[in-house]
Chains A and B, each alone.
Chain A
Amino acid sequence: MLRRSLSVITVPVLAIVLALVVGAVVMILSSPLVSGHLDFVLPLRAYLALASGAFASFNGLVQTVVSASPLILAGLAVGIGFKAGLFNIGAQGQFLMGAVAAAAVGAGMAHASPWLAITAAVLAAVAAGAIYGFIPGFLKAFTGAHEVVTTIMLNYIAIQFVAYLITGPLRATGATFARSPAVGAAELPILVGRNGHLGVVLALITVPIAWWLLYRTTIGFEVRTVGANPDAARYAGMSPRMVLILTMTACGLLAGLAGAGEILGISHFMPAGYSTNVGFDGITVALLGRANPVGILFGGLLLGAMRAGSGLMQIQAGVPVQMIDVLQGVILFFLAAELVVRYVFRVRAARAELAGLETVSRSYGGQTTP
């Protein structure tokens, strides 16, 4: 059992190591743009700053977990989709819809009793995210429109929708820039450190629930069967259509919850140009975690640490925080090319571990689900 778990994590860990190496090369090659000459110790300074920003202080550690929580939720929103053979690239849009719903309801109940306001705002967010996940699920099941394209289109539509709401009906009066009013009573209470808010707890609780649902219930069995072999699922009396719709809705719900956490727990209002990378981060986390909730927890914490430490990296080493996007991309590249990673490091391990992901490209642009 231990050996098996080791072989599961080998490739993600090696992918991270390789990414750090490639990241170092990128930093060295682009260092003339920062300091005017090739700087060979820049990567060392940058990574040290990154690590100390993420782990060296109590607040840094809290910040790591706080940054990780939306990533964990988005990772689940992508990873659970993988289990059903769906590739949800729409966590971004689902997150935005959840966020704007939380901002709207929070603003409307800014003077209500806190628990009522929080409950209402969070419920509104998960409902908005769920609806936004339901749409591509429904389209996939009944028209065959592939979720990869529809969810991306919905992401762009969500951006426009948020811009419309916040520059229009939701715009706070008297603010210097277009933003929604403060959520007031709906702010999530801080439980730990400077910003360890209640949403973090919600995110962490979601992980075991998702695991239990996937592996210990008949619902999870149906989801996994539809992902592994939809024809066999139909033959076994399941309804792949309903399972797809249900799964996409659940994915949207999780991403919406992440949106609620960010608005109610951190920013407390929503600006018109609210930008987030949470959808792509979720994909990285889900792949790092092998679409397994426990793996996603660790993947989310790792990326959270990188996000939490990136500020100090920018200040101390002058490497822009966008470096994290590069690192993340390279990690992804090596995860996809796991054969390469194995080759480079001479690792032999069961390839079956990725089984949950191998079903994604099936039925591309194909017919409707039976």
Chain B
Amino acid sequence: MGGPLDSFRAMTDRPSTGDQAVQAPALEMRGITKQYPGVLANDHIDLEVRPGEIHALLGENGAGKTTLMNILYGLATPDSGEILLDGQPVQIASPSDAIRRGISMVHQHFMLVPVLSVADNILLGEEPMAGPVFMDRKAAYGRLHDLSRFFGWEIELDQPVGTLSVGWQQRIEILKAVYRNAQILVLDEPTAVLTPQETKEIFVMLRRLTTEGYSIIFISHKLYEVLEIADRITVIRRGKVVGQRIPGETDEEDLAQLMVGREVQLTVDRGTSHPGEPRLVVEGLHARDDRGRETVHGVDLEVRSGEIFGIAGVAGNGQDELVESLIGLRRPSAGSVRLDGHEVTGHGSRELHERGVGFVPADRHRYGLVLSYPLTDNLVLTDYYDAPYARGIVRNEGAIREHATEAVEQFDVRTPSIDVPASTLSGGNQQKVIVAREFDRELKLLVLDQPTRGLDVGSIEFIHRQVIAKRDGGTAILLVSAELDEVLELSDRVGVMYRGRLVAVMDGRTASREEVGLLMATGGRDPAAAAAATATSRGGQA
């Protein structure tokens, strides 16, 4: 131990564990079982984490990883099982118990308060006090600066967190955990919102923390990431531990099979595409967000029939406003949108729908479904006013039910009946309801925004097959996804969105992850300068 680490050690005020490699596991979870209504989320799960290791928890969406970690963090109570820290059984009933015992968690969704400053977010819950009432912020600033210097960052502590890019917000989350003197750090899908470059930086940082004696639980469903970062891998499927692996002794195929429980095709068979005439032509499109700031600064793009055009980009670079402008939920402030040669700029969503535009929204609970409605009503949400579902203003219940019965059958929606509220279905089946509604007609243009976010592998495969089928039927498809892998797997052409501009368009079959990732992170500026900028700059406006 030496150099900056000593000061860091002193700062965090925690005994070193570095030279005690062989000892009791830092954490042991034994026989954890948790039953939620209708689903056994954890079924006698055993997990053992050694001091100073990065232990990956691999599993599909919905396999029970987050539930297990919520139990560890005191956010959920297990029905049975026990937790041991350094060999001692402990009770963790609340997050404050967990924090007191040296467990910190970086959640899948940011647990940052956007309107509060960086410093307030980090200090919240562990406020340094001057007297019984007032906070002593300045006293903490020195330590916060030391911590960020340890990672080689420079952070403006008084800046509101909401103005930072997602990559920086993720760093603040980790800083928050480290500030709490954790010994065990849980990261739940920390790379989901990051570019490959940012992911690498986070990995370097995690490695550094393990040399400080931190034990890290790294949750992911991305195989190559797990192989890259983990010391050991525990695989969970449907609430059960199905195997343990060491990266050197396994590969992606093996892990995928363990994770899904059957042989999986790792990449979609996208076949050959036969692009035709341009269907969607966008020229010089500008759009503002809800607060009136311009977030799309002149986008030009063209999607041809029978082609999938993918848009990659870090969340918050104007993709939302772009998509909303194209499907009639937002009026662009300038520029033009043409569909099959017709001017449709600023047309409403109903008109676009009638012209053959289909849309799968990113947030299925907010836009895609009315959760309290039965499937019947959800399946006619965009067509309810038209024949055969209505005559004049009178609804035709018979036709609505008939349609629902067919759609559920055709799109393999697993549901006890067409009359249950959409809220009772699993995420994958909810998404299939939306897909059934949007795909089941003649489409000129299909806009897909994060079509598979949070779904299990089976549902993802199903939806990808449907998308390919639509493409082969001659529909022009615009795919926006934060999952770079999805964009690269499906797209014929890939555009990269950076700060409201489409900074590059590449051939989807030849573009590499690194190439696209660099463009996502820098917008194509000089790589060396950009790298330097990310290393030391303040978190910029995303």
Q: Which residue of B is nearest A233, CB measured?
A: B370
* Interface contact A237-B382, CB-CB below 8 Å: yes
Residues of B contacting A221 in the complex (Cβ-Cβ under 8 angstroms): 377, 384, 395
Q: Which residue of A is nearest B423, CB measured?
A: A352
Contact of B526 with A by CB under 8 A: no
Residues of B contacting A231 in the complex (Cβ-Cβ under 8 angstroms): 366-367
Measured in the bound complex, the distance between the Cα atoms of B394 and A355 in whole Å is: 24
Contact of A367 with B by CB under 8 A: yes
* Interface window among A40-48, A212-220, A287-295: A212-220
Q: A216-B394, A217-B393, A217-B395 given as contacts; is B369 within 8 A of A236 (CB)?
A: no
Contact of B24 with A by CB under 8 A: no
Q: Which residue of B is nearest A213, CB measured?
A: B393
* Interface contact A237-B349, CB-CB below 8 Å: yes
Measured in the bound complex, the distance between the Cα atoms of B381 and A228 in whole Å is: 13
- Among A197-221, those with CB < 8 Å from B are 216-219, 221
Which of A217, A232, A234 has the most CB atoms of chain B within a 10 A radius of its CB?
Answer: A232
Measured in the bound complex, the distance between the Cα atoms of B400 and A218 in whole Å is: 12
In whole Å, how far is A255's beta carbon from the nearest beta carbon of chain B? 24
Measured in the bound complex, the distance between the Cα atoms of B348 and A332 in whole Å is: 42
Measured in the bound complex, the distance between the Cα atoms of B385 and A221 in whole Å is: 9
Contact of A119 with B by CB under 8 A: no
Measured in the bound complex, the distance between the Cα atoms of B390 and A224 in whole Å is: 16
- Among A229-254, those with CB < 8 Å from B are 229, 231-232, 234-237
Which of A234, A352, A367 meets B372, CB within 8 Å?
Answer: A352
Q: Which residue of B is nearest A229, CB measured?
A: B370
Contact of B153 with A by CB under 8 A: no
Measured in the bound complex, the distance between the Cα atoms of B363 and A229 in whole Å is: 13
Which of A219, A234, A235, A352 has the most CB atoms of chain B within a 10 A radius of its CB?
Answer: A235
Q: Which residue of B is nearest A215, CB measured?
A: B395
Contact of B361 with A by CB under 8 A: yes
Residues of B contacting A232 in the complex (Cβ-Cβ under 8 angstroms): 366-370, 381
Contact of A225 with B by CB under 8 A: yes
Contact of B202 with A by CB under 8 A: no
Measured in the bound complex, the distance between the Cα atoms of B474 and A5 in whole Å is: 49
Contact of B329 with A by CB under 8 A: yes
Residues of B contacting A352 in the complex (Cβ-Cβ under 8 angstroms): 372, 421
* Interface contact A229-B361, CB-CB below 8 Å: no
Measured in the bound complex, the distance between the Cα atoms of B349 and A229 in whole Å is: 16
Contact of B76 with A by CB under 8 A: no
* Interface contact B395-A216, CB-CB below 8 Å: yes
Measured in the bound complex, the distance between the Cα atoms of B329 and A231 in whole Å is: 10
Residues of B contacting A217 in the complex (Cβ-Cβ under 8 angstroms): 393-395
Which of A219, A225, A228, A367 meets B393, CB within 8 Å?
Answer: A219
Residues of B contacting A216 in the complex (Cβ-Cβ under 8 angstroms): 394-395, 397
* Interface contact B370-A225, CB-CB below 8 Å: yes
Residues of A contacting B373 in the complex (Cβ-Cβ under 8 angstroms): 225, 228
Contact of B290 with A by CB under 8 A: yes
Contact of B137 with A by CB under 8 A: no
Contact of B229 with A by CB under 8 A: no
- Among A322-370, those with CB < 8 Å from B are 352, 355, 367
Measured in the bound complex, the distance between the Cα atoms of B380 and A218 in whole Å is: 11
In whole Å, how far is B386's beta carbon from the nearest beta carbon of chain A? 9
In whole Å, how far is A96's beta carbon from the nearest beta carbon of chain B? 32
In whole Å, how far is A350's beta carbon from the nearest beta carbon of chain B? 10
Contact of B353 with A by CB under 8 A: yes
In whole Å, how far is B92's beta carbon from the nearest beta carbon of chain A? 28
Measured in the bound complex, the distance between the Cα atoms of B395 and A355 in whole Å is: 22
Contact of B350 with A by CB under 8 A: yes
Measured in the bound complex, the distance between the Cα atoms of B367 and A112 in whole Å is: 55
Measured in the bound complex, the distance between the Cα atoms of B421 and A352 in whole Å is: 10
In whole Å, how far is A150's beta carbon from the nearest beta carbon of chain B? 23
Contact of B371 with A by CB under 8 A: yes
Q: A217-B395, A218-B390, A229-B366 given as contacts; is B372 within 8 A of A236 (CB)?
A: no
Contact with A along B151-192 (1 / 0, CB 8 A): 000000000000000000000000000000000000000000
Measured in the bound complex, the distance between the Cα atoms of B348 and A225 in whole Å is: 18
* Interface contact A228-B372, CB-CB below 8 Å: yes
In whole Å, how far is B288's beta carbon from the nearest beta carbon of chain A? 14
Measured in the bound complex, the distance between the Cα atoms of B374 and A355 in whole Å is: 13
- Among B332-371, those with CB < 8 Å from A are 348-351, 353, 359, 361, 366-371
- 24 residue pairs bridging A and B, Cβ less than 8 Å apart: A217-B393, A217-B395, A218-B384, A218-B390, A218-B394, A218-B395, A221-B377, A221-B384, A221-B395, A228-B373, A229-B369, A229-B371, A232-B368, A232-B369, A232-B370, A235-B349, A235-B359, A235-B361, A235-B382, A236-B381, A237-B348, A237-B349, A237-B382, A355-B372
Interface residues of B (CB under 8 A from A): 290, 328-329, 348-351, 353, 359, 361, 366-373, 377, 381-382, 384-385, 390, 393-395, 397, 421
Interface residues of A (CB under 8 A from B): 216-219, 221, 225, 228-229, 231-232, 234-237, 352, 355, 367
The 3 A-B residue pairs with the shortest CB-CB distance, nearest first, are: A237-B350, A355-B372, A217-B393
Seed contacts A232-B381, A234-B329; 8 additional CB < 8 Å A-B pairs: A216-B395, A217-B395, A219-B393, A221-B395, A229-B366, A232-B367, A234-B349, A237-B349
